[in-house]
Amino acid sequence: MSQPTVTHRVEFLRHPHPGHPHLTAWGIRIDGTDLRVLVAEATRALWGRELDEDDDTPQEREEFLLRQHAPLYLDDDADGARARDHFLGDAPPDLRDRDTGALCLLGCSCGIDACWPLLAMVCVTATEVVWSGFHQPHRPGWGELSMGPYVFSRPAYIEALAAPVPLTQDPLGPLLGEG
């Protein structure tokens, strides 16, 4: 007997890019949790094997985990078509893995999205959008991250993408000592 599919809720956010407030970023929440928080949880133990505990305080370590990625900067266009196409699986070549087709859902905090991307497979059907296979291409030894898959109702996903939540600051800013 197959397991019932759990449907998740996605929100797209529009706010100043962390560290580059003149740019507008596309943030993501899944079931009310910022995608960067989910990635921090999924990579905490992996980073723990690489980083020296004595180098940082617990607060500095947590900030590092939350800052490892940033929301995507997708050039603004009049009707949001570039972002809509991107999040529906038609990402530009610089934001897609040429071998697997995985696309960038989060970028690097330096402002260059492809520098340290969070990649995932995005599968779009007539009824669903599924994000799975999350990975960090610069850490192949990590393998697939322990997060997802996230299954979204396609109509709700399209609606969220068409009406991103406008914010005046990065929602993680207060956790990171900003704003």
Question: Strand, coil or helix: what is 172?
Answer: coil
Q: What is the pLDDT of residues 87-122, one digit of tens each?
A: 999 988 889 998 899 999 999 888 788 889 999 999
- Name the pTM for this structure: 0.91
Instruction: Tell me: pLDDT of 21 over 70.
Output: yes
Residue 34, by phi and psi: left (phi above 0), alpha (psi -120 to 50) or beta? beta
Instruction: Read off the pLDDT of residues 128-164 as tens digits, 9 standing for 90 and up.
Output: 999 999 999 999 999 999 999 999 999 999 999 999 9
Residue 129: both structure tokens together? 């959008």
Task: Please report the pLDDT score of residue 3 as a whole number.
Answer: 54
Q: Parse the chain into domains and list their residue ranges.
A: 7-174
Backbone angles phi, psi at 29, to 5 degrees: -120, 140
Is the CB of residue 119 less than 8 Å from the CB of residue 135?
yes
Residue 116 contacts by C-beta under 8 Å, 6 or more apart in sequence? 68, 69, 107, 108, 109, 110, 136, 138
Cα(70)–Cα(151) distance, rounded to whole angstroms? 22
pLDDT in tens, 38-94: 999 999 999 888 777 777 788 888 888 999 999 998 866 656 788 889 999 998 888
